[in-house]
């Protein structure tokens, strides 16, 4: 994932100090192009601060409201939720959840989680799994900080079945689980009065983690964000998909969805930026 930030130094300090990421200096260019490659366990994210429009980027451009289609979080696995939240609180984040971890019922996966925002208003989640749930790698005891790696990125969508079709039929994902989450625990996690949401986990063709999660909110009613036509100037996260043939995937999408405007943009690196139906930005990289 690539995530746009206003102040790269501030963002690095948060992700390193509050969440335990490390900076991969061999893949970062903090002084010139203002980008940083951060790693946690075997997963990674890229932070970048585009000089051309960094001043216009602020938290009002990003939406931490869970039922808004602009919402997209990164779920970070912890082996000690209390320690992770204690470490996080030292950086005074804005919490989406009720300032504490919430344990969901077994029917909703049984995970314990807490949602919050980074300094630029991007949503994040701390998550821990009950025994025999989640990827086996998250149950290994590791020395050092409490946080282990990135399990998934979750995004709110307006039509859950339409989005499933897009990612499964066109991009090769597979459904690995599906739950209808509701009740007071889910509402507390989402920071709303009442919450009913379809949660669909989609695994990439080869590996299981990190994966994608679709959030289809029935309650509260889904709010559609305004989608910018200039995709390269978008403040949204970019999910990076490595594919064998960028042109072939792009052509297939345009055949299947002939009437949909993807607002695509070719990049010098041979990558292609497109949007899904709700405006989430996907980076197809050879």
Delimit the domains of the chain by residue range.
Answer: 2-56, 60-219, 231-285
This prediction has a pTM of 0.90
pLDDT-based confidence at residue 211 (cuts at 50, 70, 90): very high
Give CA–CA dist 232/100, Å, rounded.
36
pLDDT the model gives residue 234: 55
Q: Per-residue pLDDT averaged across 21-46, rounded?
A: 83
Strand stretches in the chain, DSSP E? 2-4, 22-23, 35-40, 43-48, 72-78, 94-95, 102-103, 112-117, 123-128, 147-156, 174-182, 196-203, 211-219, 238-242, 265-266, 272-275, 281-285
- Asked which of 116-130, 202-216, 261-275 is least confident by mean pLDDT, the reply is 261-275
| pLDDT exceeds 90 at position 101 | yes
Which of helix, strand or coil describes residue 167? helix
Q: Which CATH class is domain 231-285?
A: alpha beta
| pLDDT exceeds 90 at position 54 | no
Tell me, which fold does domain 60-219 have in CATH?
Answer: 2,3-Dihydroxybiphenyl 1,2-Dioxygenase; domain 1 (3.10.180)
Q: Does domain 2-56 have CATH number 3.10.180.10?
A: yes
| pLDDT exceeds 60 at position 58 | no
C-alpha R_g of the chain: 18
């Amino acid at each position: 994932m690539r995530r746009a930030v206003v102040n790269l130094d501030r963002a690095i300090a948060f992700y390193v100090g509050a969440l335990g990421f490390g900076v991969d200096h061999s893949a970062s260019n903090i002084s010139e192009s203002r980008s940083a490659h951060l790693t946690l366990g075997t997963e990674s994210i890229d932070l970048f601060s585009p000089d051309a429009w960094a001043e216009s980027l602020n938290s009002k451009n990003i939406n931490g409201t869970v039922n808004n289609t602009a919402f997209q979080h990164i779920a970070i696995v912890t082996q000690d939720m209390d320690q992770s939240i204690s470490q996080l609180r030292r950086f005074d984040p804005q919490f989406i959840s009720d300032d504490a971890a919430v344990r969901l019922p077994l029917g909703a996966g049984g995970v314990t989680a807490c949602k919050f925002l980074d300094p630029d208003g991007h949503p994040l989640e701390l998550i821990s799994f009950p025994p025999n749930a989640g990827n086996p790698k998250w149950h290994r005891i590791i020395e050092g900080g409490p946080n282990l790696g990135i399990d998934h990125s979750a995004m709110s969508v307006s039509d859950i079945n339409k989005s499933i079709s897009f990612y499964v039929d066109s991009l090769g994902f597979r459904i690995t689980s599906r739950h209808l989450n509701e009740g007071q625990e889910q509402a507390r996690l989402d920071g709303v009065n009442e919450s009913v949401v379809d949660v669909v986990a989609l695994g990439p063709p080869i590996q299981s983690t990190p994966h994608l999660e679709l959030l289809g909110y029935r309650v509260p009613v889904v709010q559609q964000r305004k989608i910018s036509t200039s995709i390269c100037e978008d403040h949204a996260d970019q999910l990076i998909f490595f594919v064998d043939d960028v042109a072939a995937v792009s052509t297939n999408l345009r055949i299947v969805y002939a009437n949909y405007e993807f607002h695509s943009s070719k990049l010098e690196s041979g990558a292609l930026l497109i949007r899904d139906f709700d405006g989430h930005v996907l980076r197809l990289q050879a």
